[in-house]
Amino acid sequence: MSSKWRVFATCLLIAAPGISHAQSPAARDSWLMQNYRFTGPPPPGSVRPTDPVVSELQRIQDAVTSIMRHAKSTEDYETALAAAAQASANAQLIGAVREHLEATAAAKASADAAKTSADEAKSEMPSPTYLIALQDHTVETATRLWSDGRMLHYLTRQGAHVQVRLDLVDIDLSARLNREINLEFRLTK
């Protein structure tokens, strides 16, 4: 056996005290529980997804850093300097891509917030409330109304669809009541 392999085998034996392949699974589990703290998965939303471009650039950066360290340890300074220059360029590129992604995400978030606030403002605007006078002297309210010739259809504030025969509606009184609140109520008998 060569001296390199002896050193390697000795390092393996020294590096792994207390763990052997002959241990039972329960003993290995016990050792893991004593020596490591398991916390479970991170809470939802705490881990941000990584963009594939940034992941690939980071992988390239790790390879260049490894090349730079190896070249430095073997005293190949020309390769180490070239790797250092490439690592610097990669770091700048990764920073620029991250800034662009963050700016895009911020712009999207502000656009979504603006849309949400516009939707909320629109939903907070009261829809017109029409007054419908019926022949039995009751008055109903509606947010939307239409006629199909024989029936008056309307939606209540709660969103219910109601149908009333047109001959049961006091059209003249309904038109006058709605005119007083600046709403147009036009139905034909």
Nearest alpha-carbon partner for 130 in 144, 120, 117: 144
Q: How many CA atoms lie within 13 A of 99 on its CB side?
A: 6
pLDDT in tens, the chain (189 residues): 456 555 555 554 454 555 555 567 777 777 777 777 767 777 777 777 777 888 888 888 888 888 888 888 888 888 888 888 888 888 888 888 888 888 888 888 888 887 777 666 666 656 788 889 999 988 898 988 888 888 899 998 888 899 999 999 998 888 888 888 888 887 755
Residue type at 100 in one-letter notation: H
Q: pTM of whole model > 0.85?
A: no
The residues pairing with 145 across neighbouring beta strands, listed in sequence order, are 154
